[in-house]
Amino acid sequence: MQSSNRLNPSRLIDFTVKDLTVDKLRLIEVPDNATLADALNAMLLTPKSLFCIKLVANRVRAVPVAAVPGQWLGAGGSMIVESDKETGRVKKQYIGMVTMLDVVAHIAGNEEENGLDKKMAAHVSSIIGHCPEGRSLWSLNPNTSIMDCMEILSKGIHRVLVPLDSNVENTSGPELVESASAYTMLTQMDLVSFFLDQSSHLQAILSCTVTDLSAVNDNVLAITSQARVKDAVKCMSMAMLNAVPIVEASSDEEDHTQLVDGKNRRVVGTFSASDLKGCNLATLRSWLPLNALEFAEKIPRTPLFASAPARELVTCHVTSTLVQVIRMATTRRVHRVWVVDKNDGLQGLVSLTDIIAAVRAAISTSTS
């Protein structure tokens, strides 16, 4: 009886995506003709700056791009549209998702004198798909089960659109075709936060260590403490990484422009694509030559970041429980927690993807 109270998987299985989106706000998107400069300039609250409002918000790392219907092929062959609730007339089509990693990939590797100006003037529609996640756009029906939702968000998809009133009937899973009068967005962070809300049913799983649940990824690429911001941007773009740990440089002779194997090296910081949120052209130009560690420690604070928690290194140990790691991730709003030893030597990482996959596997095992 005690074991049943500690873990009741059937209770979790009864939940659907709709239960996760009850309190979610309606989707805010960026128009396809907005420029990257518009997107990253947090000073102007014009219609084209809606993207920047979402992107610089502490919890948002991606937004969908909306266009006039019929003029674009949606990412991955998708056809996700917003239609009038009364007449059914299609008002706009979502053609893809722009993430901070797309932005990083877009600005990386440019050495021309005026190249950065040109890149910042590019329309956001041209930035879609720089990273693998942006090459598809998924809608998840509100009736989809939590278990199916977990499967989807544990396989490289970080966020999906959810129709608030779907016009597509008899579906309960991921869709590339959808019509609704309004949408919201469901993210990995939403799902992991849900695990905490349901901790009374997941206690037996959440109390296990990340090692016992095989949630630790042992392979971690890093940049050194002598790498510059421009080096970090290039490395992350080439490896398609949203964030990298910064480890102590071993020597001056080490190539600080390349990713290194971070295993067993002391972690001193984190560089994330999200660190570039809210910067305008002049700011970005001044940031690129800086030392990445110094930049990560002194990210400028703007009024839009006023409520953000103070920056600190988020780490755990191989003996940390899953609930401890989830609390770190949700409290600090990070998508990965570095696993270190007692000397801060890097041993691996636990990402939101790893957490979701571990919880789903444990529930599946307990109910089989």
Whether 341 contacts 317, CB under 8 Å = yes
Of 137, 166, 164, 153, the C-alpha closest to 62 is: 137
What's the one-letter identity of residue 300?
P
The secondary structure of 155-201 as a DSSP string is TT--EEEEESSBSS-S--SEESEEEES-EEEEEHHHHHHHHHHTHHH
CA–CA distances in Å: residue 326 to residues 20, 210, 333, 352, 354: 17, 10, 10, 8, 11
| Tally of CA atoms within 13 A in the half-sphere of 35 that contains its CB | 12
CA angle 311, 315, 318 (to 5 degrees): 170
Angle between helices 188-197 and 352-367 (to 10 degrees): 50
What is the predicted pLDDT for the residue at 4?
45
Phi, psi of 218 (to 5 degrees): -80, -20
Measure the CA–CA gap between 234 and 289, rounded to whole angstroms. 12
pLDDT in tens, the chain (368 residues): 344 445 565 577 789 999 999 888 888 788 899 888 766 553 233 333 444 444 444 455 788 889 999 888 787 788 899 999 888 899 999 998 888 888 888 887 555 556 778 888 889 888 888 887 777 888 999 989 999 999 999 988 899 999 987 655 555 566 667 889 999 999 999 999 999 999 988 999 999 999 999 999 999 999 999 999 999 999 998 898 999 999 999 887 899 999 999 999 999 999 998 877 666 667 777 888 889 998 887 764 444 444 445 567 999 999 999 999 999 999 998 999 999 999 999 999 999 999 999 999 999 887 76
Of 89, 97, 121, 88, the C-alpha closest to 107 is: 121
Measure the CA–CA gap between 14 and 226, rounded to whole angstroms. 51
